[in-house]
Amino acid sequence: MNLQIAKWGNSLALRIPADYVRQAGIKEGDQVQASLTIDGGICIRAAKWNRQAFARDLEGMRAAMPMGESVIEELRHGARY
């Protein structure tokens, strides 16, 4: 199957036919891994979810958030019943 490359912002994009998407088991928003083959081709595979990488990312985000007072306690004190 021949596909057409299109401009998307400053990048190029390739539309993947629905049949291929279903067979690959991917959906909008999923991440894929792209690599170049020896003969100059492009190989695109569904990215496997990496639990350790996710945990590292989550820890980094958590470390970036300042600790403060509980929002729940603040809401309880301001709540009117």
Rounded average pLDDT per 10-residue block, the chain, 81 residues: 91 92 86 92 84 86 80 74 56
How crowded is residue 30: how many other Cβ atoms within 10 Å of its Cβ?
12
Distance from C-alpha of 28 to C-alpha of 18, rounded to nearest angstrom = 11
Which single residue is written with the structure tokens 């490359």? Answer: 5
pLDDT of residue 81: 56
pLDDT of residue 72: 79
pLDDT of residue 79: 67
Distance from C-alpha of 50 to C-alpha of 53, rounded to nearest angstrom = 5
Q: Which CATH architecture has domain 5-78?
A: Ribbon (2.10)
8 A C-beta contact, residue 45 and residue 32: yes
pLDDT of residue 66: 78
Structure tokens at 78: 């301001």
Q: Specify the pTM.
A: 0.49
